[in-house]
Amino acid sequence: MLQNLTNFSNLIKLRRVKTTLEPADLIAVGTRDDRFGGDYKPTVITAEDFAAQISGLQTVSVDGVTIFGNGTPSFPLSALSSVKYSNVFFVDPIQGIDATAMSGDFTKPYLTIESALNAANATAPTLTNRALVYVRKGEIANFSGNAYNNVDVYCESGVVFNQYFFLTDMNIGSGVNFNWYGFAKWNLTMSSVAFRWQYASTGLVEGDSFVNTGAISLCYNVTIGTIDITYNFNSMESSQTIGNGYAFSWRNNVNGTLNVKKYIKSPHSQQEMRASHLGNVEINCPRNILTAANVYGGNFKQIAYVSASSLTSTLTFNGLLINETPTYLGGTSTMILYQGLGTVIVNGKIYAIQGMGIWNTGAGTIIAEGGIESNIQCFVSNGVGNIYIKRGLLALKSLGGSVQRLGYVGSTGNVWLTDVELNSDLVGECILQATVTSKVFMKNITCETAGVDFINASVAGTINQFTNCVSNKPLSANVVNELAQGLIVDALLKTPKF
């Protein structure tokens, strides 16, 4: 043993260390033999023979699915799980060769994902006997490919998509079940859509980060059936300097889920629902950010835009809505612009700042839990739909602006405020109620305002209901309180300023 250690030390001292093996190189091993000291005799194996043997020991784990085998007819690559990948197509964007690539042989990878996808689809995979395209690390520019039925893609950490990327089912002619797994990064400069689902497709798209200096409009224009798609990313960001492309566009029969761990950023309408949209969309992201860059003015400046052409849409945010724009851009610049039917739910605070918090001009319902801050208006009710604002330590706070009110009710839609605190440093009213056909319902409210009135109405007979509410200022003469005992006016009331 001492002799072996001495020989090993001499190899290092003489700098006889190789970084690349040649086929005929010899590797020292020990072979079991009790006739030798220590029960092992010294033997060697060539690098070529060693590589051939360890190929059968290679394993690849894809979301809990272990793929094993050496790619030979007697021991093909396969997987044991609820999903069986009987065919695996490796892609090496650096050393792959499409002309010599072989299914199930990681020593003969494809160069392009497109070629591997086409080859995988040619095997006629099924739902329980799927095909997998496994992408090794490297940079890939200008990808454009089809999402095939029962074909999945897995990207190693280190896969980076540059310039252009387009994945779609448009060329298939029918819905597909397709998954894109792994840890890829997207660094794009494109102005068109990155993903487009035309038919009743279902699946998952996941990766590390998605950045586009063009537009990341993800369009779903389903013509047959219902789309059900999930996106899992660490972050998604777009500058959208070309075109008015929305970050996400949900159209027709679409159910979607966004699971983004860090943030979603875009300067224009981030979530847009239109074209007779029917479906449920859920965004699970801690920071939904409307960035300061702007090209198309206030009419495109929203986190959520539900157009009049949408039908029974349901849009849910689980996280903060943040506006970084330093100036008010006019128009319909607001965090939530609702013109259609259905429901928008915000489980998190709305930081509108230079812009409005909620603008409901449709027949739908908006529910905001967590509060609103704005120096323009926290909410505007100009439709027949209802607005519910509840459970916010500081629900409505004006930071100073040209419009001297926290909210405006100008149509038949009703407004409910529950368990919130109203603060206004402006000299105007807290809520301006302009019609007799609408109501404001308040429960468990405290309100300190620098204005003349707690509630001001321009039309006599405007009706309100108050339950357990306290204000430092009275109601205007035009306001009728249906619950006489529900409001206490105390000029000494002081509430925290944030």
Question: What's residue 149's pLDDT?
Answer: 97
Instruction: Print pLDDT tens along the chain (498 aa).
Output: 445 556 656 665 666 666 666 777 777 777 777 777 667 778 888 876 766 554 443 444 555 555 666 555 566 655 555 566 778 999 999 999 999 999 888 889 999 999 999 999 999 999 888 999 999 999 999 999 999 999 999 999 999 999 999 999 999 989 999 999 999 999 998 888 899 999 999 999 999 999 988 766 677 778 777 889 999 999 999 887 655 567 898 888 889 999 999 999 988 889 988 878 888 999 999 999 998 877 777 888 899 999 877 778 899 999 999 999 888 888 888 999 999 888 999 999 999 877 889 999 999 999 999 888 887 788 899 989 999 998 764 445 555 555 557 788 888 888 999 988 887 766 666 777 777 777 889 999 888 887 788 888 877 777 788 999 999 888 888 888 888 789 999 988 877 665
Question: What's residue 10's pLDDT?
Answer: 64
Query: What span, in angstroms and rounded, lies between the C-alpha atoms of 459 and 342?
Result: 30
Position of tokens 């875009």? 266
Rounded to 5°, the CA angle 463-467-470 comes to 95
Count H helices, E strands: the chain? 3, 37
Handedness of CA 104, 167, 150, 210 (dihedral sign): positive
What global pTM score does this model have?
A: 0.82
424 C-beta neighbours (distance < 10 Å), count: 25
Question: What's residue 57's pLDDT?
Answer: 38
Q: Please, are residues 294 and 267 in contact by the beta-carbon 8 Å criterion? A: yes
Question: What's residue 107's pLDDT?
Answer: 87
3-state secondary structure of 426: coil
What does DSSP assign to residue 282?
Answer: E
Question: What's residue 12's pLDDT?
Answer: 58
Rounded to 5°, the CA angle 38-44-45 comes to 135
Question: What's residue 125's pLDDT?
Answer: 93
Handedness of CA 364, 329, 377, 462 (dihedral sign): negative
Q: Give the DSSP H or E segment for 484.
A: none
Question: What's residue 395's pLDDT?
Answer: 47
